[in-house]
Amino acid sequence: AFPGLPPAACAWLANVLACMDRDGSHYSVATQGHDTYLRGFDAASGQRWAQTGTRYGRLTFFSGVSSDGQVWLGTSRGIGWTHISRFSSSSGGQAKLTCGRVSGCSQQVR
């Protein structure tokens, strides 16, 4: 949770986690073996999205699509307590997201 914001309400059943925040956005995460499936809805934009990822050791390959036709793909890898994700979208955007348990997350847009 972000400081000063109430956490999302979540429910966990078997291998599925589903959450909804106070603004009406919601998402779900399901796992099966090395695969992760995410689906969500952003209440502010009205956009729906889905993403699939497959893990190979410490490296995960992922791809996704949103209801406006945007497509993205990328990789994420864990190094100690830090995760580094690099991704690009069909609109030409590219970014690197670095998240650590102590330092939080920082994003570099290219």
Q: pTM above 0.85?
A: no
pLDDT at site 103: 86
Closest CA to 13 of 29, 33, 25, 36: 29
Domain membership flag for residue 100: yes
Given a cut of 90, whether residue 1 has pLDDT beyond it is no
Question: Could you report the per-residue pLDDT of 4-53, keeping only the tens digit for each?
Answer: 667 789 998 989 999 999 999 999 999 999 999 999 999 999 999 999 99
Residue 79 domain-assigned? yes
Domain region containing 74: 9-109
**Per the domain annotation, does 20 fall within a domain?**
yes
Nearest alpha carbon to residue 86 among 73, 102, 71: 73
In a domain, 4, yes or no: no
- Tell me, what's the pLDDT at 25? 95
